[in-house]
Amino acid sequence: MARPQIRQGQLITTFGPGAMTDLPERSVLIAGLDAWVGERRQIQEPRLARKVAQLLGAQTIRLECPPEAERDGGGFVRSYVFPLWFVTQSLVPGRPPGWRTRRLVQWSGLEDKGRKFLMDDRSKSSVTPVRFVRACRRGHLGDIDWQAFVHGQNPPCGRELYFDERGTSGDLGETFIRCGCGLERAMSQAADPNSRALGDCDGARPWLGQGRVADERCTERNRLLVRAASNAWLPQPQRVISLPERGESIRQTVDRLWMFLEATESAEDVAYERRKPKVNEGLAGLTNEEVWEAVRERKNPADSGEKPVKRAEIETLVAPGDQIGEDTLESTFFARVLPQAEWNQPWMAGIERVLLVERLREVAALVGFTRFESASADAETGELDAGVRRADISRQPEWVPAVENRGEGIFLQFNREALLTWWQRTAVVDRYADLKRGFDAWKQEHTSSDRRLPSPEYLLLHSFSHLLITAVALECGYPASSIMERVYAVPQVGYGVLLYTASSDAEGTLGGLVQAGRRIAGFVRSALELGALCSNDPVCGQHSPANVLEGRMLHGAACHGCVLIAETSCEQGNDFLDRALVVRTVAGLGAEFFPDLI
């Protein structure tokens, strides 16, 4: 049987180390990086390598593509059978009407390579993995000790276990684990976060290897985790856009001549290498000191200080000039300024610059993961919090899986003075206070979260970005789920929104977004019209963020009928949104940035 194959990018977003997934014949746990086999291509992105090394507390970190599946089977990502408890497909006879009773059995008791269980009547029943496991907030994972769970304070008797479903809904209150001795316990007791029904965490990290060698000390309480739930594995990718910063051309030159410069240890060594005609020609116009600095940076990416991710990017995007980067096949970024005469309309007054990004490269690296609660990158810096208790993806971090995607985009720069005038209005201050009350209510329910409420400028740009993605997707040729956002709210530098699409093949460079950018004024108008009225108004438009009964404390006027988009496209997982800051809604709050359309 051929090995199941998944795309390299999915090993960062969906099936990374520590993730549980279902294969055709069993459920498995993706192994840590130490067990990945095959050739891996290194990705050069020094800025990202430095960020990842800082997050992981390592001196240096390599960014490498996950191994590719090879024809001879040489490249693969190892996985382990997990969980090791199963329920039979055949029902146990003799139960009351409406009950579905099946045996709960261990892997060691199965036959036919773990596919069958021998029932009491000597028939062989197929089995499926039990859908419940235990985990803690630090990401540790393990099988539930079902004997201990059923018997509680009583010593386990070791008799056979049964999985009872006493209803049709699958509700935990109707799901019982029963022992042959007569004791039983509802799964709803395991779901209670205040109970100790599942005991204390033992620090198990089975994706990093079997036995105690991979475990670590933990003082958390075990929590019930549904194996296929969306919060069972929440990746933490650090993303950067490769931009032509100061010194980028020098780094590209060093990359091209690396085979000659790799062994250099000083500027004097660079001067020695320049005696070779090819090296001297390639380094024309550069000093030995400049070249050595770039070589040192590549060798020791963790040594140099680094600006926050988004600050470095916005500094490049707002740089003066009619174009950014070089229009060559080797270039990772190239953008042209769209003349203002082509988009100057009354409703565009708050926008001062439009960039058509004809070529860009995004690099994403997986640094860890969480369970139960996600830990997104900071809204305003674009960086992951170094203090988050993320689960490790390897025992000794030397490299992390990364992918590079190429594509195109549109960048809209907002006028700083217009944003300042907008923020000083009383209606905007009052609306931001409402949003803060909602965020404070959310924090009371998520005390372990380190998230911060972004600035009002960020909330405005973020909500506008979602509306514009929806409007552009109707005509640009890309589905909305493939268009991603990058929101910049850096007071010291500037404000803007980058919409882009990128993939590992030609799908990300079809030209649809650049062409849409040439008609950006019309798309912005469509976005504002979409935001003015929602199909769920007036309920959506008059929603109060602080109303905990609705469970939308991080939303203002925002729902699936207007602002929410695919979570994979949003850098904040569809949080921190309010179209009332963008355009006038039925609530008439007066906090909108854009003027009414005529």
CA distance 541 to 533: 8
Among 382, 306, 401, 314, smallest CA distance to 16 is for 401
> Is 179 in the same domain as 293?
no
Helices and strands counted in the chain (H then E):
15, 23
> Is 249 in the same domain as 193?
no
CA-to-CA dists, residue 153 to 145, 147, 157, 198, 272, angstroms: 13, 11, 12, 12, 76
Tell me which of 226, 259, 281 is where a domain ends: 226
Q: Quick check: is 152 in a domain?
A: yes
pTM metric for this prediction:
0.81
Cβ(584)–Cβ(532) under 8 Å?
Answer: yes
The predicted pLDDT at position 286 comes to 74
- Determine the average pLDDT of the residues in 473-488: 87
Cβ(375)–Cβ(75) under 8 Å?
Answer: no
What is the span of the domain harbouring residue 286?
Answer: 244-299
Q: Quick check: is 252 in a domain?
A: yes
> Is 199 in the same domain as 294?
no
> Is 176 in the same domain as 282?
no
Cβ(103)–Cβ(92) under 8 Å?
Answer: yes
More confident residue, 168 or 15: 15
> Is 264 in the same domain as 203?
no
User: pLDDT exceeding 90 applies to what percent of the chain?
Assistant: 33
Lowest mean pLDDT among 12-26, 418-432, 454-468: 12-26
| Residue range 297-314, pLDDT digits in tens | 777 765 555 678 888 888
The DSSP code sequence of 464-486 is: HHHHHHHHHHTTSSS-GGG-EEE
Other C-beta atoms closer than 10 Å to the C-beta of 168 total 9
| Residue range 549-594, pLDDT digits in tens | 888 899 999 999 999 998 888 988 899 999 999 999 998 899 999 9
The predicted pLDDT at position 180 comes to 85
Q: Quick check: is 75 in a domain?
A: no
> Is 91 in the same domain as 205?
yes
> Is 190 in the same domain as 257?
no
CA-to-CA dists, residue 378 to 70, 325, 571, angstroms: 38, 27, 9
Residue 1 scores a pLDDT above 50 = no
CA distance 420 to 584: 19
Tell me which of 253, 275, 299 is where a domain ends: 299
- Determine the average pLDDT of the residues in 44-69: 86
- Average pLDDT score, the chain: 86
Highest mean pLDDT among 144-158, 316-330, 383-397: 144-158
Q: Quick check: is 110 in a domain?
A: yes
Tell me which of 272, 299, 326 is where a domain ends: 299
- The number of domains in the chain is 2
Residue 465 scores a pLDDT above 50 = yes
Q: Quick check: is 249 in a domain?
A: yes
Q: Quick check: is 133 in a domain?
A: yes
> Is 207 in the same domain as 250?
no
Q: Quick check: is 139 in a domain?
A: yes
> Is 118 in the same domain as 180?
yes
> Is 292 in the same domain as 163?
no
Residue 71 scores a pLDDT above 70 = no
The predicted pLDDT at position 249 comes to 66
Using CB atoms within 10 Å of the CB of residue 433, give its burial: 0 to 12 exposed, 13 to 18 middle, 19+ buried: exposed
> Is 131 in the same domain as 212?
yes
| Residue range 264-283, pLDDT digits in tens | 888 888 888 888 888 888 88
> Is 262 in the same domain as 182?
no
The DSSP code sequence of 515-562 is: HHHTTHHHHHHHHHHHHH--TTTTTTTT--TT-TTTT-TTBSS--TTT
Cβ(238)–Cβ(378) under 8 Å?
Answer: no
Other C-beta atoms closer than 10 Å to the C-beta of 29 total 22
The dihedral built from the CA positions of residue 46, 65, 325 and 321, taken in this order, carries a sign that is negative
Binned at pLDDT 50, 70 and 90, residue 462 comes out as: very high
CA 127 to chain centre: 33
The residues, ordered by sequence, that sit 6+ positions from 259 with a Cβ below 8 Å of its Cβ are none
Q: Quick check: is 339 in a domain?
A: no
